Structure 1
Amino acid sequence: MQKLSNQFIGVDQGEAVVFSDFENGGNMWTGEGSRERRQRVNFTERFRGRPAVHCSVSLWDVDTATNVRADVSADSIDADGFDIVFRTWGDSKIARARIGWMAIGAVRHEDDWDV
């Protein structure tokens, strides 16, 4: 559990289209086996430290003739941003994916002193 001792807590959130492979025949749509896409997200303001980040699928367009397999996570989290990671495997065909995210953590206040 992350315990926040700062009275100034920041919540940043957004969405990112991680890929749209249907139009261009990309490997998430046409490939098989293990596949991964990453997209860097930069926070609108720097956190004091590493925030807690939650990712979820907000849109996905998938083929109904194959099994749907997906793993969505946040990686390389630091005070400035993180990587959204979308993975699939087997014969899954995913045309596009949009991922929603939320980061919660301590932020600086204009009255903070660096001692």
Structure 2
Amino acid sequence: MKRFDNKLIGIDQGETVLFSDYESGGDMWTGEGDRMRLHTVRFTEPFRTPPAVQCALSMWDIDSGTNARIEVSAEKITETGFEVVFRTWADTHVARARVRWMAIGELYHEDDWELY
């Protein structure tokens, strides 16, 4: 469980198109084997500590003739951002994908200060 030390909590959220490989003949649509795409997200303002981040597919266009194998995750989470990671493998053909994300965490307060 993630515990917060202060009462100033922020929520940042967004949505991003990860790729659209159908028109361009990209490897997510035509490839086989392990395939991955990364997208760097920057928060609107920094959190005090790394927030909890959740990612979910909000749109996917996938070939119905193959198995649907998809993993979406948030990795390398820091106070200022994270990476959305999309993975597929084997013979799965993905034409396009969009991901929605939400981060919840502590914000800085005007009374926060540090001793040097």
User: TM-score, normalising length from structure 2?
Assistant: 0.96
Secondary structure of the corresponding residue to residue 67 of structure 1: coil
- In the alignment, does 2:33 pair up with 1:59? no
Structure 1 residue 23 displacement after superposition = 1.1
Structure 1 residue 112 displacement after superposition = 2.7
1:89 aligns with 89
Moved segments of 4+, more than 6 Å: none
Question: Residue deviations 1:9-61, cap 9 Å, x none?
Answer: 01000011111101111100000010000000000010001110000000000
- In the alignment, does 2:4 pair up with 1:9? no
Distance 2:47 2:56 in 1: 21
Ranges in structure 2 where 5+ consecutive residues have no aligned partner: none
Structure 1 residue 5 displacement after superposition = 1.4
Secondary structure of the corresponding residue to residue 28 of structure 1: helix
1:72 aligns with 72
What percentage of residue pairs aligned between the two structures are identical? 57
- In the alignment, does 2:45 pair up with 1:45? yes
Secondary structure of the corresponding residue to residue 101 of structure 1: strand
- Which amino acid is 1:15 matched to? E
Between Structure 1 and Structure 2, how many residues are aligned? 115
Structural RMSD (CA): 0.9
- Which amino acid is 1:25 matched to? G
- Which amino acid is 1:77 matched to? I
Structure 1 residue 113 displacement after superposition = 2.9
Distance 2:66 2:37 in 1: 20
Distance 1:27 1:64 in 2: 17
Distance 2:28 2:61 in 1: 11
Secondary structure of the corresponding residue to residue 103 of structure 2: strand
- Which amino acid is 1:14 matched to? G
Ranges in structure 1 where 5+ consecutive residues have no aligned partner: none
